[in-house]
Structure 1
Amino acid sequence: MLAIVAGWPAAPAQAAVRNAEDLLIVDCLLPGQIRRLGRQATFLSARRPVRTTQADCEIRGGEYVSYDRANYQTALKVWLEGAMSGDAEAQNNVGEIYSKGLGTAPDYGMAFQWFKKAADQGYGRAKINLGYLYEQGLGVERDQAAALNLYREASGIEDELMYASVVQVEIKARDQKISGLEQQVQAGEAESAALREQVRQLQQELAQRRSALAAAQRQLSDTQAKLAQARQQQDDDLTRLLENQLLAQEEQINSQRTQLASLEQRAGASAGGAYAAVPMLEILDPVFVATRGRNTAVYRGGPGKRQVVGRVTSPERVGAITVNGQPAPLNASGGFSAEVDVPAGGAQVQVAATDKAGGRAELAFTLLPQAAASPGAGASPAGDGKLPRGVSLGRYYAVVIGNNSYRDPAYPTLTSAANDANAVAAMLRERYGYDASLVLNGGRLEILTALNEMREKLKPEDNLLVYYAGHGEIDARGQGYWVPSDGAANAEKTWISNAAISDILNTIPARHVLVVADSCYSGTMTRASVPTFDAGSMAPGQWDGWVKAMADGRSRTALTSGGVQPVPDTGSGRHSYFARAFLNVLQDNNRLLEGQRLFREVSTALALGAIDAPVPQVPQYSPIRYAGHESGEFFFLPKGAGSRSGP
């Protein structure tokens, strides 16, 4: 008989909070339990790693590393033992520690190895993280197909469910002779010669690195052979020594792989020359769906006039946009639109963009009415907006933050953030039935307290929306921050980092969490891509399966008002451009609304409506890195919309 005599408290009622740092998430190593075997023997069980608040870890007698730790090795100490023993969650956490860097440069090679170990065991979060490395080419050769497959596996999406993707094309310069200026050609030739020399040096360094990697791999093979022999001889001390050597050699090899990937990326960028960063052309509405042939965009509705909405990055560099040969007005934010006459059999559409240097991009697709795509039109329409029978979305909560006033005069007073927050909280309560907490002009402790209350209050079946409107900052490393009302300029420790928000969201038990951030640099919160599913183009039976799959999955996603750049404060009456678009979409919606469609409608509204915005505004929507996203989607269901009736 095995009985627990003493151990850590399972869930303390209230952890003592002295300051804001007590509410930040730490890697905590809880003490072991004292257990009794029979009547005679007692022993101490292994310590258990968890992620919890600093205050909670203290009250439970745990060991932790403070949030501003300077060395990732201290965080590894908490999780490495479990990872070495094969625990998938611990392996994923070790991968995230290497990927984050934590006081040192990220080691994507080691991160890849640990994510792969966890992903091979079917761990969804690791598949998302591994897919991101493949997508970005970090620590591994870039492979978009492998990334997409991992994202799909993590989402639990079946092959028959319709998949739609954002289609982008680059606006590239056609020929250097377009300039027609001999001096520019000569300068370009000199630059090319310098770049060729740089590429040659990088290739030489690559060859040396590859040689060192091959030698390390041979040494690793020798160690593996010795380890196998030691295991056969049951020599525990030698086995442990060799296992440690093996881990060290794997770390060395993966570090070399990371350096190789960095060098290859630099060599590629150098070879790319002046055209490494080019404007992009993107269609927002309608949504493209995957086909085996030509690009196809399907929309709900019959033949007739249909609006095509798109946008370009770097609009100041774009000279003209045409749709089927007709000019389409381009606003300051890069948005454009044009009407296309669509017959029953579909229309061919060609969108072209030309930049001021003579570069050109073309995007051709077939615009197809839903009626033409679904001949058996008698049954209920695809994606009818009803909650399928047997699917429960749980309860909905919100923390809505709006900061107008700041203690530090370096941060100017905002005019719309508090208005936006009040309106969003009212919308969520009155139209969607949320239990919404409102924080106006909140300081660092107040904001973290509101989030921590959700961590302690919410259950696994619940949903949480976090809305933030206020100042944002970005540091030299590209890390984004929310600035609380008591934040000080040039003092990162007085802000709330996106990394801290991600850690908090990771520990909240709610199944679905959506962050809506309307602040400068909010796009630093979203980094990975995921497949975009077009519910409107699904066959009737597919809608039910898709909603169930998304409702069952654990999601952590963010809808942000912009990328890594400032966004305007006001512009649409008492609200920001983004808040006005967000509120309008929620107000007009009368069906089950998925987060991805919310994003598309908000993006379309901004592309059309933010013509007078002082800076271009391009919303982002994707999973939040390191916040525990596995799969799933956030849903909005207005009061009275209800579930589908019938047997």
Structure 2
Amino acid sequence: MKTLHLPKTLGRIAALLAPSLFVIASAAAPGAAATKGMVKRSDLEIVDCLLPGQVRQLGNSSFLSQRRPIRTTASECSIRGGEYVAYDRADLQSALRIWMQAAESGDVEAQTNVGEIYERGMGVTPDYEAAAKWYQKAADKNYARALFNLGTMYEQGLGVPQDGLKALNLYRQAWGVPEDSIIFTSAAQREQEELRKELDAAIAEKDAQLGLLQKQLKDLQEQLAKQPAVEQTADNSSKEIEALKRWIAQLEQERRKSTERLAGIPKTRTPQGTTELAQLPPTADERTLQGMNFGRYYAIVIGNQNYQSIESLETPKYDAARAARILADRYGFTVSILEDANDITMLKAINDLNAVLKPEDNLLIYYAGHGARLQSGKSEAGYWLPVNADAPPKDTFWVPNEQITGHLGRLPAKRVLVVADSCYAGLLSTDPSYLFLNDKVTYSKDYIKFKLPKRARLLLSSGGDKPVLDEGSGGNSVFARAFLDELENNQGILSSPELFSRIRKRVEIAAQKNKFVQVPEFKSIKGAGHEVGDFFFVPRVRS
């Protein structure tokens, strides 16, 4: 199975690096990063860790508190005296054992983690009904992450009846948006219109089917009535009549349910105008605007191009260099560049940010390189391939999406956006598409105020679960060219859904010119602590 970009020679690879950029990694020498500082790959992997209880003093008595579950690196878990499963981390029961006691005692974070474990399956077939049950327990206590996760279940119809409006309402609650908010009403109105069309079409289809079946039933009954009683006994017409009656009754029941559901769709007021982002002035201080604190901006930019054991690529280094320059110069990011990084370098760079990032900060991770996927039973796993990766199916050095998600979940930054330009990049998230996204929605100052306090873990990928083009124009891949052009030309505050809506059609058209189908995706990264937040690009004032 060839799980690579589709390379094409595109000429030079060049970079103009600003003072705020620096290259922090290169894996030209195999194993160099692995031995430096005695860092091992296993030390950097995220595990479900059960920490020992605390010795507490109450008056003259001492007691040991209940053991505490956390998600952390294997190294930190060992240092803190914790317990984790070292050689079977894909086992569902071992992961549940860590979190279940706290979940049963009512801890909303633990309940949500249990739901995520059931939903992902962790090496076994997912149990969506169990996942929805545990999400509901935490959602009943208004825990934002559980509300959002439960919304994704209703949007997809996993473990619960599929219901887009209920999903939208759960997203609204997780977001903290009042029902009369323009942001919610505009999205709800769109969803209601689509549902009405769908139900009207279903009812019309049932009416047509019922008309045909009732006519067929009438004809059979008349035909049977004309036959002598002896012949009726031996005729199969009576059996057909009974089958038709059952079919008609079933269709009538389905039509009745659709009619009741149509009647139950609530009415929402038509949203009025709002202040557009484009009307907000730029700011010399990229951290604040009109009293809103956007925090500091950091980026890790990975360009894996020269592979040791598999086919090398043409554009990742140039894509990464241009991305780093635009992020630093245009938006004030502090950027770290990883060129031709191995697995340890990639995971360590992300893990080390725990000592740098603060709760109000922003992190963008840009990855350009090979991607892969492996099928295991009914589940499928996606991977980023470091330059020391072996060819499939030997995945010893591959970096699984599950580990990337685990690291993103424990980073303190409020807002994290992963931009992945690789094959199968969409597998980093199994969430449905971003439901609030709409080309006609106006992203206002109110939108920013609602979104800023919420955690965001978002994925903008070059494609779904298929190969993508490693070619384009100007030395960039198709996706990178669209993404970086939009960032470079942008003049105002830019939200990630708006950025996605700008580049999606550009990528599809450019890919078609190469006789290729490529559809970018924008999703939340469930399991990493997403709470319906957003990521904002705030450009510097040009002197």
For Structure 1 versus Structure 2, the TM-score category normalised by the shorter chain is 0.7 to 0.9
Aligned residues of 1:468 and 1:516 also touching (Cα < 8 A): yes
Displacement, 1:24?
1.3
Alignment of 1:592-603 (within 5 A): 592-603=493-504
Contact 1:591 1:641 (C-alpha < 8 Å) held by counterparts: no
Give the drift of 1:49: 1.1
Q: Which moved more, 1:143-152 or 1:556-565?
A: 143-152
Over the matched positions of the two proteins, sequence identity in percent amounts to: 44
Give runs of aligned pairs for residues 195-274 of structure 1, distance below 5 A.
none
**2:15 aligned residue:** none
The residue aligned with 2:434 is: 530
Correspondences of 1:42-441 after superposition (within 5 Å): 42-66=62-86, 68-158=88-178, 159-162=180-183, 163-164=186-187, 384-386=279-281, 389-408=290-309, 411-441=310-340
CA distance in 1 between counterparts of 2:496 and 2:410 reads 22
Match for residue 533 of structure 2? Answer: 632
Contact residue 368 and residue 421 of structure 2 kept, 8 A: yes
Distance 1:537 1:74, change over 3 A: closer
2:388 aligned residue (477, 486, 501): 486
Q: Secondary structure at the match of 1:552?
A: coil
SS at match of 2:470: coil
C-alpha displacement at 1:578, in angstroms? 0.5
1:528–1:624 CA contact under 8 A, matched in 2: no
**Match of 1:34?**
55
- Deviations, residues 180-206 of structure 1 (Å, cap 9, x unaligned): xxxxxxxxxxxxxxxxxxxx9xxxxxx
Could you tell me how far 1:35 is from its partner in structure 2? 2.0
What is the CA–CA distance in structure 2 between the aligned matches of 1:91 and 1:641, rounded to whole Å?
Answer: 48
Check whether the contact 2:472–2:481 (CA below 8 A) recurs between aligned residues. no
Residues 1:546 and 2:447 are matched in the alignment: yes
Three-state SS of the structure 1 residue aligned to 2:94 is helix
User: Is the aligned partner of 1:21 residue 2:29?
Assistant: no
Residues 142-186 of structure 1 show CA distances to partners (whole Å, capped at 9, x for unaligned) of 22221111112112223322334698999x9xx9xxxxxxxxxxx
What is the one-letter code of the residue matched to 2:411?
I
- SS of residue matched to 2:388: coil
Deviation for aligned residue 1:396: 0.4
- Determine the C-alpha separation between the residues in 1 that align with 2:168 and 2:275: 31
Note the C-alpha offset of 1:383: 5.0
Does residue 521 (structure 1) correspond to residue 424 (structure 2)? The answer is: yes
Secondary structure of the residue aligned to 1:516 is: strand
Query: How far off is 1:439 after superposition?
Result: 0.3
> How many Å separate the matches in 2 of 1:628 and 1:434?
23
1:543 Cα deviation after fit: 2.2
**Residue 563 of structure 1 aligns to which amino acid in structure 2?**
G
Task: Sort the Cα spacing of 1:35 and 1:144 in 2 relative to 1 into closer, same or farther, 3 A.
Answer: same
| Aligned partners of 1:134 and 1:140 also within 8 Å | yes
Task: Look up the equivalent residue of 2:78 and give its one-letter code.
Answer: E
| Distance in 2, Cα, partners of 1:641 & 1:29 | 51
Q: Which deviates further from its counterpart, 568-577 or 504-513?
A: 568-577
TM-score normalized with structure 1 length: 0.62
Q: Is the 8 A contact 2:121 2:127 kept in 1?
A: yes
2-structure distance, mates of 1:382, 1:638 = 13
Q: 1:267-309 deviations in whole A, cap 9, x for unaligned?
A: xxxxxxxxxxxxxxxxxxxxxxx9969xx9x9xxxxxxxxxxx
Change (3 A) 1:291 1:432: farther
| Aligned-partner Cα distance in 1 for 2:512–2:125 | 41
Distance across 2 between alignment mates of 1:552 and 1:535: 24
Instruction: Sort the Cα spacing of 1:292 and 1:572 in 2 relative to 1 into closer, same or farther, 3 A.
Output: farther
Find the aligned partners of 1:533 and 1:514 in 2 and give their Cα distance: 16
Query: In the alignment, which of 431, 446, 468 is matched to residue 367 of structure 2?
Result: 468
Structure 2 alignment gaps of length 5 or more: 1-36, 206-242, 244-265, 282-287
Following TM superposition, by how much is the alpha carbon of 1:552 offset from its aligned partner in structure 2, in angstroms? 1.0
**Counterparts of 2:533 and 2:267 in 1: how far apart (Å)?**
23
Moved more, 144-153 or 602-611: 602-611
SS at match of 1:112: helix
Q: How far off is 1:530 after superposition?
A: 3.1
Counterpart-to-counterpart distance in 2, 1:577 and 1:482 = 19
Seen in structure 2, the aligned counterparts of structure 1 residues 17 and 389 have a Cα distance that, compared at 3 Å, is: farther
Q: Secondary structure at the match of 2:147?
A: helix
Distance verdict in 2 for CA 1:434–1:388, change over 3 Å:
closer
- The Cα of 1:608 is off from its aligned counterpart by 3.7
- The AA in structure 2 aligned to 1:638 is P
Name the SS of the counterpart of 2:129 in structure 1. helix
Letter of the 2:497 counterpart: Q
The whole-number CA distance in structure 2 between the counterparts of 1:503 and 1:156 is: 25
What CA distance in whole angstroms lies between the structure 2 residues aligned with 1:145 and 1:641? 43
CA distance in 1, matches of 2:476, 2:297: 24
Aligned to 2:347: 448
8 Å CA contact 2:423, 2:466 repeated in 1: yes
**Structure 1: which amino acid aligns with 2:432?**
A
3-state SS of the aligned residue for 1:97?
A: helix
- After TM superposition, the structure 1 stretch with the greater mean CA deviation from structure 2, 544-553 or 428-437, is 544-553
Q: Is the 8 A contact 1:99 1:106 kept in 2?
A: yes
What's the secondary structure of 2:519's corresponding residue? coil
Gaps of 5+ in 1: 1-15, 176-199, 201-289, 299-372, 643-647
- Tell me how far apart the structure 2 counterparts of residues 56 and 152 of structure 1 sit (CA, whole Å): 36
What's the secondary structure of 2:541's corresponding residue?
A: coil
User: Any idea what the Cα deviations from partners look like across 1:537-574, whole Å, max 9, x if unmatched?
Assistant: 54xxx822211111111110010000110001112221
Report the more deviating stretch, 421-430 or 66-75: 66-75
Q: Distance in 2 between matches of 1:109 and 1:473?
A: 30
On the 8 A contact 2:389/2:398 being kept in 1, the answer is: yes
How many Å apart are 1:382 and its aligned residue?
Answer: 6.3
* 3-state secondary structure, aligned to 2:469: coil
Judging changes above 3 Å, is the alpha-carbon distance between structure 1 residues 22 and 383 closer, same or farther for their aligned structure 2 residues?
same
Q: CA deviation at 1:631?
A: 1.6
Q: Secondary structure at the match of 2:506?
A: helix
The whole-number CA distance in structure 1 between the counterparts of 2:142 and 2:275 is: 36
1:528 maps to amino acid: P
2:467 corresponding residue in structure 1:
566
Offset at 1:463? 0.4
User: Residue type of the partner of 2:517?
Assistant: P
Partner AA of 2:396 in structure 1 = K
Q: How many residues align?
A: 425
Are 1:466 and 1:516, in contact at CA under 8 Å, matched by a contact in 2?
Answer: yes
Partner SS, residue 557 of structure 1: strand
Opposite residue 382 of structure 2, the aligned amino acid is G
Q: Please tell me whether the aligned partners of residues 50 and 67 of structure 2 are also in contact (alpha carbons under 8 angstroms).
A: yes
- Residues 239-293 of structure 1 show CA distances to partners (whole Å, capped at 9, x for unaligned) of xxxxxxxxxxxxxxxxxxxxxxxxxxxxxxxxxxxxxxxxxxxxxxxxxxx9969
Q: What does residue 606 of structure 1 align with?
A: 507
